[in-house]
Amino acid sequence: MRKNLVDKLYVDKENHEYLMENYLEGSRFKLFSNVFFGKMGAMTRANWLVLLFCLPAFAALFYTYYLSIQYAAYTPFSGNLGIGYPIVNNAEEIYSALIYKNNMFRALLLVPCIIIGFVGLSGAFNVIKYEALGIDVKVIKTFFKGVKNNAVTHIWLGLINSLLFLLLSFAIQGFGVPNLHLAIKIIAIIISSVLLALSAIMSMYIMTQTALYDIPLGKMIKNSFRFTFAFILQNVIILVFSCVPVALLFVMNANYFLQIIVIMICAMLGFSYIICVWTIYNHYVYSLLFSAAIEAKSDKKKRKRNKGEAKGKGEKVK
């Protein structure tokens, strides 16, 4: 399996050798600790820059939340409480329809916002790449250099992931459609969730390759697809581990004070934490498999050259 995977990989030899020459020694957990906790200032600045690209998403969420409050305030839930108050027999149905409409509007509104957010990730991945290599950089300059060089790839990734998010949103809202069978609703949610998770894993591989290597997008997609399924268990574990900030927001939902603290921490370091986890992990995968692929291709060329030389010598003897 590993040999078959190595033979199919497309490698940027020059930049990979740069990675291997500059990569710090030690375990990946130690490296993560050194980068994330040891470079806290750079992590915070990179995270704030990503948040700038997430402002449209925050605005969309705030606007749709405001609409939901309006619907709750103006929808009549009771009968005739006073003179002239209209009697509405289907008030709950009206409110449910309005909330359904608002949720769909929010999902559609987030599609371009997610794409813009992915453009911001291109800068953060570029910054944390250098930090993982032990190279101190000017965060703002390096961030926007990453945006300039890799924005197009991240726009495509943002579009794909936002559409899959939209699909999941439609599947979740499908529970409000009475005519659909329950089994169909559950299957739709499972399929859309799995597709979004696989797309997120592939996207992480593509984004780390984009930041580090000079590989055509089509080749990167093929590499990432193979990495995603060759290490599916490890990838799922890393995905869960990287989602700790999001999970904390839900866990701390019952305690308002703790939730505020978690929100502040996520605002300062949430995106940097996720990017750092995937950068360190993906670099580890690349150091193993790309090095093996380069060595295998080198051996293949050497064998081919030796075979050609041997054949030439045989012809001279004849």
Whether the per-residue pLDDT at 126 is higher than 90: the answer is yes
pLDDT in the model for residue 69: 83
Whether the per-residue pLDDT at 253 is higher than 80: the answer is no
pLDDT in the model for residue 75: 61
Task: Provide the CA 157 distance to its chain's centre, in angstroms.
Answer: 9
Rounded Cα–Cα distance for residues 275 and 277 (Å)? 6
Q: What is the pTM assigned to this prediction?
A: 0.84
Structural contact between residues 118 and 161, judged by C-beta atoms closer than 8 angstroms: yes
Whether the per-residue pLDDT at 179 is higher than 70: the answer is yes
pLDDT in the model for residue 51: 94
Sort residue 26 into left (φ over 0), alpha (ψ -120 to 50) or beta: left
Segment 227-233 shows an average pLDDT of 92
In terms of Cβ atoms closer than 10 Å to its own Cβ (0-12, 13-18, 19+), residue 209 is: buried
> In terms of Cα–Cα distance, which of 232, 240, 26, 271 is closest to 143?
271
pLDDT 10s digits, 27-58: 788 888 888 998 899 999 999 999 999 999 99
Segment 98-118 shows an average pLDDT of 91
pLDDT in the model for residue 19: 82
Pair of tokens at residue 134:
């032990």
> In terms of Cα–Cα distance, which of 284, 285, 291, 288 is closest to 35?
284
Segment 241-255 shows an average pLDDT of 74
Specify the residue for token string 């001279």.
Answer: 316
Whether the per-residue pLDDT at 113 is higher than 80: the answer is yes
Structural contact between residues 57 and 114, judged by C-beta atoms closer than 8 angstroms: yes
Alpha helices in the chain (DSSP H): 2-8, 13-22, 28-36, 40-53, 55-74, 91-132, 139-173, 182-212, 217-230, 232-242, 244-251, 256-317
Rounded Cα–Cα distance for residues 207 and 228 (Å)? 13
pLDDT 10s digits, 55-78: 999 999 899 888 888 877 766 554
- Cβ neighbours of residue 184 closer than 8 Å, sequence gap 6 or more: 174
Sort residue 81 into left (φ over 0), alpha (ψ -120 to 50) or beta: alpha
Segment 271-289 shows an average pLDDT of 92
Sort residue 25 into left (φ over 0), alpha (ψ -120 to 50) or beta: beta
Whether the per-residue pLDDT at 182 is higher than 70: the answer is yes
Pair of tokens at residue 282:
């993906």
Structural contact between residues 158 and 117, judged by C-beta atoms closer than 8 angstroms: yes
User: Where is pLDDT greater, at 254 or 100?
Assistant: 100
Domain map of the chain by residue range?
2-307
Rounded Cα–Cα distance for residues 122 and 50 (Å)? 9
pLDDT in the model for residue 78: 47
Whether the per-residue pLDDT at 140 is higher than 70: the answer is yes
- Cβ neighbours of residue 231 closer than 8 Å, sequence gap 6 or more: 285
Lowest mean pLDDT: which of 80-84, 97-101, 263-267, 272-276?
Answer: 80-84
Whether the per-residue pLDDT at 79 is higher than 50: the answer is no
Whether the per-residue pLDDT at 308 is higher than 80: the answer is no
